A and B are shown apart, each in its own frame.
Chain A
Amino acid sequence: MEFFLGHYAYWFIIVLLCIGLYTIMFKRNLVKKLIGLSIFQSSIILFWVSSASKWNATVPIYDSAYSIENTANYINPLPHTLMLTAIVVGVATLGVAFALFVLVYKRFKILNEDVIIQEMKSESE
């Protein structure tokens, strides 16, 4: 029980990750797949962020109230800053995906994977 409660943040992230992967694999609508991808990416961002969070610690700016020797007083800012970049990358991916939706819709008039694959098959024959 301790194992589950002590790591509740990570269990939550694992659940999110599985929801994301499930949506990508089993939903037939392309937009839903993209939503799944977004959830999946967010779970990884949360993983990085939670790995660097700490109770009873402050931002990594020198404060005379805390001793500088004891690094436990400060939060490691690197994972958080890296995730800012990862969020931007995720947004860019979403943007490209939306542009692709427009192209796919113009071509097939539908965003359902099964129908599109059917149509592509019948075209190539």
Chain B
Amino acid sequence: MIKNFPVIIPAIYLTAALLIPLLRSRHERYAHSIALSAVFAAALVSINNIYYVINNGTIHYHFGGWTPPIGIEYVLDPLSAFVVFVINSVVFFILIHAVKVNAIELHSKEIPYYSVVMLMMLGFNGMIMTGDFFNLFVFLEISSLSVYGLMAMGDRGSAFASFRYLLLGTIGASFFLLGLGFLYMVSGSLNMSDLKEIIPLLSNSPVLIIALTLMVTGVGIKMAVFPLHGWLPDAYTLASSSTSALIAAIGTKVSAYVMIRILFFVFGVEYVTEIFPVTLVLGWLGAAGIIYGSILAIAQKEMKSMLAYSSVAQIGYITLGISMANPLGFIGAVLHIINHAFMKGALFLVAANLRIRTGHSDISRLHKVCAKKMPVTMACFTVAAISMIGLPPVAGFFSKWYLVLGAVDNRQWIFMGVILLSSLLNAVYFFRIIENVYIKSSDSDEEMKSCTLAEDEPGFSMIGPLVLFAMTLLLLGLFNVYIVNNIILLMMPPGL
């Protein structure tokens, strides 16, 4: 039974994805309940997995009884168990929220929507747990294809944004496959732990350098590392509200996790920092992404596109943390993956609530009445925004704190400056909204109307998850030491 833990989660999602279209009934709500219970079950299993893995060590599941390197295996170590838990719980919150938004925005398309969401989760969970590179590629494509489908269900030109993402995403996955081909040619293995043994024996081979470059580029496109982020802003802005919350919260994080796997767990710390210093390049790209994303976020007039550009900046933090290749930077990167999943989830849910209640999410058109009418939504927004800026005691402060410590540890003063400067820039674009919402009174009657037309807070299904997100952010901040000491330190890759 215990041996089967890793495979239960993908099995749940696959079953749910098939059940939803099969059990077609007149009440479209049923699709939502199946999806929600599947995510809930997966989250429960993943909590159990974390508990088990921390106490008893890594679980290996061999498919069909074939032992690796010949067979495919699933590996649940502390890192993968924890990331699985994070994405499942974030998606659980967002799906609770989704029922009302989707009933309004995606009228009569809900059955395919939830089915595709289940497939996407199958892909993401598989990507995290698999211990085999080709299997990773297949799951990457499953999740990406589902994301293209979900994005196309938005308003205005979302199909076009989705097509552009399809082009770039497929190029990324193909680069990954090409790099994997080179890696397989020199090593003859696709299993991650097996490759870890083989790569030190080949360290002078130029083929390995090509393989690593191509794989990092491919994953970098999926992760939206700075110069490869072109698909992200349009895709996030134009997708429907719950889709952008889902994808912004977990999509790029899973790719960041894959990046950590490739760099530290397969090629090894020594290879990526000394023999072929890919981390050096990643560090500068991350720093450039932080500044670029923050400045463009300030320039945006619409809340969702502002959040999208801020995502580019936040991915920069994760890249920077990975690139430091020291324990503190690693803790910062992993903490930021977790924190950012919760923060961006919360912020996109706020944008969704605003869109449903006031019909728009333009920053300049927000004013005092909104805060009066929707006090809980705006309070949650403030918590998430403070976390994004990085003020204690909310979660975001601690990941940035570790990142700064990591930069100091490596004597990379420029990176430290970049992190501090970007906190300032974050403050600029978030306080702009907070100021509008709490202080600015509306000057024209028409604006008053747009807010008074709507009832007060949206229903419980839209407020509940938001409050949960905000509480989690506070808890993540308060119990930060406990999480770092008991979970993240166990994830530390060998040799760091």
Contact = CB atoms under 8 A, between A and B. Distances in A.
Interface in B89-137: 134, 137
Residue of B141, B149, B156, B163 contacting most chain A CB atoms (<10 Å): B163
Interface residues of B, number: 24
The 5 closest A-B pairs by CB, nearest first: A103-B159, A100-B163, A89-B141, A120-B157, A104-B159
A69 B149 CA distance: 50
Contacts of B148: 96, 100
Interface string A22-53: 00100000100110010011001001100100
Contacts, number: 76
Contacts of B138: 85, 89
Contact of A33 (B137, B157, B167, B174): B167
Nearest to A101: B163
Describe A's contact surface by its main secondary structure: helix
A12 interface: no
Contacts of B167: 24, 33-34, 37
Interface string A6-18: 0000000000000
Contacts of A99: 149, 152
Contacts of A24: 167, 171
B162 interface: yes
Contact of B181 (A21, A48, A93): A48
B455 to A, nearest CB: 28
Contact of B177 (A37, A44, A96, A97): A44
A41 B156 CA distance: 30
Nearest to A81: B134
Interface residues of A, number: 32
B157 A108 contact: yes
Nearest to B238: A120
Nearest to B149: A96
B231 to A, nearest CB: 13
B166 A93 contact: yes
Given A41-B174, A82-B134, A97 B160 contact: no
A97 B171 contact: no
Interface in B142-185: 145, 148-149, 152, 156-157, 159-160, 162-163, 166-167, 170-171, 174, 177-178, 181, 184-185
B163 A107 contact: no
A96 B166 contact: yes
Contact of B162 (A33, A44, A100): A100
Contacts of A48: 177, 181, 184
21 contacts: A30-B163, A33-B167, A37-B167, A37-B171, A40-B171, A41-B174, A44-B174, A79-B184, A89-B137, A92-B145, A93-B145, A96-B148, A97-B163, A100-B148, A100-B152, A100-B159, A100-B163, A103-B152, A108-B160, A116-B160, A120-B156
